[in-house]
Structure 1
Amino acid sequence: MRILVVDDEKNIRESLKILLEQDGFTVDSAENAFSAQRFIENNEYDAGIFDLKMPGMSGLELLAWLQTQEQPFPVTMISAFGQVNDAVDALKIGAVDYIVKPFDPEILLDKLLALKENLLVSEDMQEGMQEGMNTLGDEYFNGSSKAMILLQKRLLRVASTNATVLITGASGVGKEVTARTLHQNSAQKDAPFIPVNIGGVPENLIESELFGYEKGAFTGADKQKKGLIEQASGGSLFLDEIGEMPLSLQVKMLRVLQEKKFRRLGGLEEIDITARIITATNRRLEEMVKEGLFREDLYYRLNIARLEIPSLRERMDDLPRLTGFLIEKLNQKMDLNLQGLSDKAWEILKTHDFPGNIRELENILERSMIFCEGNELQDTDIDLQAPVSTMTALESGKAGRTLKEMEKESIIQALRRWEGNRSRAAKELGISRRTIINKIQEFNLDKAE
């Protein structure tokens, strides 16, 4: 970070230069505003420290001149005790802050370090927006945090093989994005990528959807239909929410993985499988195996190559780039031209823990952009709505209510918000469609839809 110090007092000028260089800043110093103009015209700076009162041209006049240049930079003003009104005027012109003499150098250093952090955030956000402008898909999988660099290395290693892959991680971390990235970096990239959400398909249809059927296999099967496994031939079949697969179907999926063959419903012909199987879940399959809800032999067949997606809380270093990427994607979707976030808006965003991960971040940004009136999001635009969940209801401390009652109320409210749409209500609550259907029956909520 390169800083320009402008002060007519030599001892202050030289002391600041020594202090800042010790902390890794690159510093140029000028003894008057005219000299500072020459420095600015011939160099690029990230920040400036200007004395307010100097002979010939004041710091206030230098600041005003700076605002007319092609690349103005943030400036902190130094003022004497009786010059506070002038310092306030400097803030109106464009200064980011001011300090009053005599001052503690550590205070100035803290301000510059905060400015440096904001500068790095802005650069990362702009890089993210550029990526969003140049990328066709929703590939916000990339990141520069240690967790994501490790994941990227593992993903590329796995992509070069034809191994079965299990992707795990909390809801909203980008498991399908990861699966698509895996496919696009594999030898099968030019073949189909077929995604299916196991939890979103009714239990009585999932088998025919996956395996297909022959004409006459059941009532209404008036012609042959290829299943998703067959449609993914030569490419990748992505089975999301694999933990929701019925036990009866798990037996057949085990045979698919073991023998690489299957039959359509009502058929006798053995069909070879050439698709890579990629599965994903936000549930702990190991616990489901112990509880008898998931077959142990199938678990081991699926868990050949495992990719654990970190939560957004575990990769907050990627937040600026992800934010920029999503803002640009939403700009294109909503026909807007927002340029980013204000510092105050960023302060709100960076302190949030994002229980809903990237999906929640995208939701917050889209909601905020709808009501934004300027060219960047302000703190007043950011609305961090708490997710509706059983745990949230439990933590609210409503006396006299059981966990079941709070769970029932959460489901009722979600169904009302989505006008009875079970899939959307389930997604908001972080559960599968099948789970919410079971809960609707358990609580007799058909009328609440």
Structure 2
Amino acid sequence: MTAGAHILVIDNEKGLCKMLEAVLTDSGYRVSAFTEPQKALEVFHPGHFHMVITDVKMPAMDGLEVLKLIKKQDDDVPVIMITGYATVEMSIHALRNGAFDILTKPFEPEELMQRVRNGLRQTSLVEENKQLRQELANHDRFGEVIGKSPALTTVLDTARKIARRDISVTISGESGTGKELVACAIHEHSARRGKPFVAINCGALPESLLESELFGHAKGAFTGADQEKKGLFEMADHGTLLLDEVGNLPMNVQKALLRFLQEKEFYRVGETTPTSVDVRVLAATNADLQEEMAAGNFREDLYYRLAVVRLEIPPLRKRRTDIPLLAAHFVEIMNRRFGTKVKGFTPEACEVMIGYDWPGNIRELKNVIEATLAIESESLVGIDGLSRLMDVKKFRKNNAHLAGLPKYSDALSSFEQDYFATLLQRNRNNVERAAEKAEVNVATLYRKIKKYNLR
């Protein structure tokens, strides 16, 4: 946020109020100044002001009450609190209620402007994350698949076209790339939408149970089969069946599946009368089925029946431009689930996420964001919080020179604890002076004091 931002100033001391107005106006900001907090609150509306600066001690209404009322209307606007004496307790209370920074009197105009610029920078970051969420809301989705990178768009364009054609499709890609989401989207864009979509992981069940799970069994077909059971093919009748990790199918099940694809019928285990159903079969795999055919582990005739159309979902490292969009999507989900109000990520954190190779793909990204939001309390997640949950050795940059060094998150925490403890000691525990020396705002320093239990 550059010059031209609109700032609301509240201070019952007329002289200080005029001084604040003059300094801010000289720097190119638009200012609305009030000595009565009630009148200031009457003109405050969400989105109308880019920042609020308020005194803490005022006779009619104290600044902490003003802070709560401001945040109730617009949680995104940064609020700088001005006080004659900032105790740790008061500062933590203000920060917990959403204050961006605390400025202790007396202060120099340069110090005020530095805090203002930092606060307006946060406003810009929040606005950027809002735009990202808006972009996400306007995103032309294919089912629940998120992304608009060229690598993904090409695949989804093909998926949209073949969704309406009742043919078998094989979806390949690394683990965690969203193969099941693509399969589900194909189903939802087909004439079978509204009918069952059934998925099974072919590698999750032992061979002895898999055939019965897929095709069902007759009563008494084997030990423990005390009643007739319908299989997943019957459960998916008139709908779609996804065979995930299809490369794990044993040969006897491959033979039965081939018969179904050819004849549209199958035999339940223990029965001699065939059962007919109308099911579209989709397959997903993270293995190379052609290599499995060459090794004799997968039937060639079945492969060509399943892979009438082949879709390959690119890994996340080949669609890095989708990462901010996916991150915004997961933040939105986690905020709804946990009742949190995280706005998004700082530019540095976004750079880390984009530069990371994500060996676990989208699943790993989701897990990292979920864990980060469970740990972090900041409205904008920074690199220090994010890095505690990521293996930085897998960044794109050459990290050979890091061999033998501790994890980045551990090294950062150790450095911060020593740095801020020494900083406070050298400045005789004067938080304002220490923050000025470190060139960080007072709110940041108070957070570090709390985080590392510095006394």
Output the TM-score relative to the length of structure 2. Answer: 0.61
Contact 2:243 2:283 in 1 (8 A): yes
Q: Show the counterpart of 1:79.
A: none
Q: Show the counterpart of 1:93.
A: 116
Aligned match for 1:70, one of 35, 44, 48: 48
Report the Cα distance in structure 2 between the residues aligned to 1:192 and 1:307, rounded to whole angstroms: 22
Q: Is 1:218–2:222 an aligned residue pair?
A: yes
Q: Is 1:244–2:248 an aligned residue pair?
A: yes
- State the Cα distance separating 1:356 from its structure 2 match: 1.0
Report the Cα distance in structure 2 between the residues aligned to 1:388 and 1:210, rounded to whole angstroms: 42
Q: Is 1:163–2:167 an aligned residue pair?
A: yes
Alpha-carbon distance change, 60 to 352 in structure 1, aligned in 2, over 3 angstroms: farther
Q: Show the counterpart of 1:385.
A: 390
Deviations 1:217-258 (Å, cap 9, x if unpaired)?
112222211100111000000110001111222111111111
Q: Percent identity between the aligned chains?
A: 33
- State the Cα distance separating 1:117 from its structure 2 match: 11
Q: Is 1:307–2:307 an aligned residue pair?
A: no
Deviations 1:290-321 (Å, cap 9, x if unpaired)?
11111111111111011111111111111111
Q: Is 1:186–2:190 an aligned residue pair?
A: yes
Contact 1:189 1:235 in 2 (8 A): yes
Contact 1:239 1:280 in 2 (8 A): yes
Deviations 1:99-152 (Å, cap 9, x if unpaired)?
xxxxxxxxxxxxxxxx99997676224433x479xx9xx954132211222222
Alpha-carbon distance change, 232 to 66 in structure 1, aligned in 2, over 3 angstroms: farther
Counterpart residue type for residue 28 of structure 2: L
- State the Cα distance separating 1:96 from its structure 2 match: 7.9
- State the Cα distance separating 1:59 from its structure 2 match: 6.0
Report the Cα distance in structure 2 between the residues aligned to 1:305 and 1:259, rounded to whole angstroms: 20
Contact 1:127 1:324 in 2 (8 A): no
- Secondary structure of the residue aligned to 1:141 is coil
Report the Cα distance in structure 2 between the residues aligned to 1:186 and 1:358, rounded to whole angstroms: 25
Q: Show the counterpart of 1:358.
A: 362
Counterpart residue type for residue 274 of structure 2: E
Report the Cα distance in structure 1 between the residues aligned to 2:193 and 2:32, rounded to whole angstroms: 51
Report the Cα distance in structure 1 between the residues aligned to 2:257 and 2:180, rounded to whole angstroms: 20
Alpha-carbon distance change, 225 to 72 in structure 1, aligned in 2, over 3 angstroms: same
Q: Is 1:127–2:135 an aligned residue pair?
A: yes
Counterpart residue type for residue 155 of structure 1: A
- Secondary structure of the residue aligned to 1:171 is coil
Counterpart residue type for residue 386 of structure 1: D
- State the Cα distance separating 1:197 from its structure 2 match: 0.5
Alpha-carbon distance change, 353 to 190 in structure 1, aligned in 2, over 3 angstroms: same
Q: Show the counterpart of 1:273.
A: 277
- State the Cα distance separating 1:285 from its structure 2 match: 0.6
Contact 2:169 2:309 in 1 (8 A): yes
- Secondary structure of the residue aligned to 2:384 is coil
- State the Cα distance separating 1:352 from its structure 2 match: 1.1
Aligned length: 315
Report the Cα distance in structure 2 between the residues aligned to 1:373 and 1:117, rounded to whole angstroms: 17
Alpha-carbon distance change, 327 to 220 in structure 1, aligned in 2, over 3 angstroms: same
Report the Cα distance in structure 2 between the residues aligned to 1:301 and 1:330, rounded to whole angstroms: 40
Report the Cα distance in structure 2 between the residues aligned to 1:186 and 1:169, rounded to whole angstroms: 22
Alpha-carbon distance change, 195 to 236 in structure 1, aligned in 2, over 3 angstroms: same
Alpha-carbon distance change, 87 to 347 in structure 1, aligned in 2, over 3 angstroms: farther
Alpha-carbon distance change, 355 to 59 in structure 1, aligned in 2, over 3 angstroms: farther
Alpha-carbon distance change, 253 to 90 in structure 1, aligned in 2, over 3 angstroms: same
Report the Cα distance in structure 2 between the residues aligned to 1:356 and 1:188, rounded to whole angstroms: 31
Aligned match for 1:326, one of 327, 330, 349: 330
- Secondary structure of the residue aligned to 1:264 is coil
- State the Cα distance separating 1:198 from its structure 2 match: 0.5
Q: Which moved more, 1:224-233 or 1:63-72?
A: 63-72
Report the Cα distance in structure 2 between the residues aligned to 1:60 and 1:385, rounded to whole angstroms: 45
Counterpart residue type for residue 135 of structure 2: E
Aligned match for 1:337, one of 326, 338, 341: 341
Q: Show the counterpart of 1:228.
A: 232
Alpha-carbon distance change, 331 to 58 in structure 1, aligned in 2, over 3 angstroms: closer
Report the Cα distance in structure 2 between the residues aligned to 1:249 and 1:191, rounded to whole angstroms: 25
Contact 2:172 2:310 in 1 (8 A): yes
What's the C-alpha RMSD, in Å, of the aligned pairs? 3.7
- Secondary structure of the residue aligned to 1:143 is coil
Q: Show the counterpart of 1:174.
A: 178
Report the Cα distance in structure 1 between the residues aligned to 2:401 and 2:197, rounded to whole angstroms: 43
Alpha-carbon distance change, 308 to 120 in structure 1, aligned in 2, over 3 angstroms: farther
Contact 1:175 1:280 in 2 (8 A): yes
- State the Cα distance separating 1:202 from its structure 2 match: 1.4
Counterpart residue type for residue 215 of structure 1: K
- State the Cα distance separating 1:344 from its structure 2 match: 2.7
Report the Cα distance in structure 1 between the residues aligned to 2:32 and 2:236, rounded to whole angstroms: 60
Gaps of 5+ in 2: 8-21, 34-43, 52-76, 78-107, 395-399, 404-455
Q: Which moved more, 1:215-224 or 1:226-235?
A: 215-224
Output the TM-score relative to the length of structure 1. Answer: 0.62
Counterpart residue type for residue 123 of structure 1: Q
Aligned match for 1:143, one of 110, 128, 147: 147
- Secondary structure of the residue aligned to 1:360 is helix
The correspondence of residues 399-414 of structure 1 with structure 2, limited to 5 A, is none
The correspondence of residues 101-120 of structure 1 with structure 2, limited to 5 A, is none
Report the Cα distance in structure 2 between the residues aligned to 1:353 and 1:118, rounded to whole angstroms: 26
Report the Cα distance in structure 2 between the residues aligned to 1:347 and 1:272, rounded to whole angstroms: 54
Counterpart residue type for residue 335 of structure 1: G
Alpha-carbon distance change, 167 to 147 in structure 1, aligned in 2, over 3 angstroms: same
- Secondary structure of the residue aligned to 1:279 is strand
Contact 1:194 1:231 in 2 (8 A): yes
Aligned match for 1:371, one of 371, 375, 387: 375
- Secondary structure of the residue aligned to 1:239 is strand
